[in-house]
Structure 1
Amino acid sequence: MRFLSMIRLNENTGQRPSQQLMDDMGKLMAQMMADGTLLDTAGLRPTAEGTRTRLSHGKLTTTDGPFTETKEVIGGYALLQADSMQQALELTRRFLQVHGDEWEIECELRQLDESCVPPRP
């Protein structure tokens, strides 16, 4: 089963990852890629560089960032391969624990609905 872990954070804190965190995160990602539990991951650029497109009653609108009305934003993601929600949750916990005591972040973990995905070649 595949799971999407979406990292939520408050980007207005100005907090940036230390070199130690980046090194520790790199080790964790390498280990998870090697054991096949991490399929893909990335951080997202700030909302100031993004846009939102909305469809409402047949009308499309686009809004440029930053999105000041939003307190928490998705700051990154990890696509996980796991045998169960419990295993995916443990993988997500490992990711969060690497951040130590200084960070205030959370991950939303959701299983992908494989019936919506075309078969892989």
Structure 2
Amino acid sequence: MPRFMGFVRMEEGIGTPPKALFDAMDTYIGEQAAKGIFLDGGGLYGTEDAVNFVVREGEVSRVDGPYAEAKEVVGGWALMQFDSLEEAIAGNKEFAELHAKYWPEVSMVATLRQISEGPEEPAG
């Protein structure tokens, strides 16, 4: 079964989602977990304590948050397993629709990426 990673991107510092969204997500995630689709996931804290290690031209540098230039940040993630890409896309749309219904004033992007079962052939 193919596995997928879901990400939620939104503007940082927009506040806490409404309780209705939390309740709807609890139900949705519970149903998905019972079906063996939702494997793990959760929300992420803001970037105020984030740490990045940047590799550039063979050098490593540390860059600590918060990041003033960040317009959107990853606010949550999920590891899921579906029978097909089509089912994964439908599930991700359903997830996004919960946000539209229960938190309509927020702008967010729900991204779905298939996980490589690699290893892929190295370049060069």
**TM-score, scaled relative to structure 1:** 0.89
Percent identity (aligned): 33
Q: How far apart are residue 19 of structure 1 and its match? A: 1.3
1:109 aligned onto 2:112: yes
Deviation beyond 6 Å, 4+ runs, structure 1: none
Q: Which SS does the other structure have where 2:36 is aligned?
A: coil
How do residues 21-40 of structure 1 correspond to structure 2 at under 5 angstroms?
A: 21-40=21-40
Q: How far apart are residue 102 of structure 1 and its match? A: 2.3
The unaligned stretches of length 5 or more in structure 2 are 120-124
**Alpha-carbon distance in 2 for matches of 1:96, 1:103:** 11
How do residues 1-121 of structure 1 correspond to structure 2 at under 5 angstroms?
A: 1-12=2-13, 14-99=14-99, 100=101, 101-116=104-119
Q: How far apart are residue 79 of structure 1 and its match? A: 0.9
**TM-score, scaled relative to structure 2:** 0.87
**Alpha-carbon distance in 1 for matches of 2:44, 2:67:** 14
**Alpha-carbon distance in 1 for matches of 2:72, 2:115:** 22
**Alpha-carbon distance in 2 for matches of 1:47, 1:85:** 31
Question: How many residues are matched?
Answer: 116
Q: How far apart are residue 80 of structure 1 and its match? A: 1.1
Amino acid paired to 2:112: L
